[in-house]
Amino acid sequence: MSLIIDSSTGTVLTAHSCYFLSDDTFTEEEWEQIDDFSDSEISRIGKDNGVNVEKSEDLLHSISEALWGKDSDKEWNSADTLDAIADAMRLIRPDLCPED
């Protein structure tokens, strides 16, 4: 299990339960109002608009495996390497890929 540790507070969270929201998720005014929401409302906002941290971590490991794994093509110029990375992205983070 992956953990996220807030180094300023020592709070420990699981990557599975955390969501990343980028700056462009909301307008500046909406960001300023986020403190007015309850914990359950913020949880819903994260799930509806964010990217699950665990999925991003899984994607990073999949790409790492395609580049440096035991049977990987260390030249990185083969179509197989690119296909493996593209497949991982389509499977784990389809939000990063254009729709066909």
16-32 residue pLDDT tens = 999 998 888 888 888 88
Which of 35, 52, 69 is the endpoint of a domain?
Answer: 52
- Exposed, middle or buried by CB within 10 Å (0-12, 13-18, 19+), for 36? exposed
- Do 47 and 8 share a structural domain? yes
Per-residue pLDDT of 32-42, as tens digits, reads: 888 898 989 98
- Count of structural domains, the chain: 2
Predicted local distance difference test score (pLDDT) of residue 12: 94
Length of the chain: 100
Residues 13 and 46 in one domain: yes
For residue 29, the Cα-to-chain-centroid distance in whole angstroms is: 25
User: Once rounded to an integer, what is the mean pLDDT over residues 37-62?
Assistant: 90
φ, ψ at 24 (rounded to 5°): -85, 10
Domain of residue 30 covers 3-52
pLDDT digits (tens, 9 = 90+) for 66-84: 888 888 777 777 788 888 8
Integer Cα distance of 87 and 100 in angstroms: 13
Q: Answer yes or no: is pLDDT of 100 > 80.
A: no
The pLDDT value given to residue 5: 92
pTM for the predicted model, two decimal places: 0.70
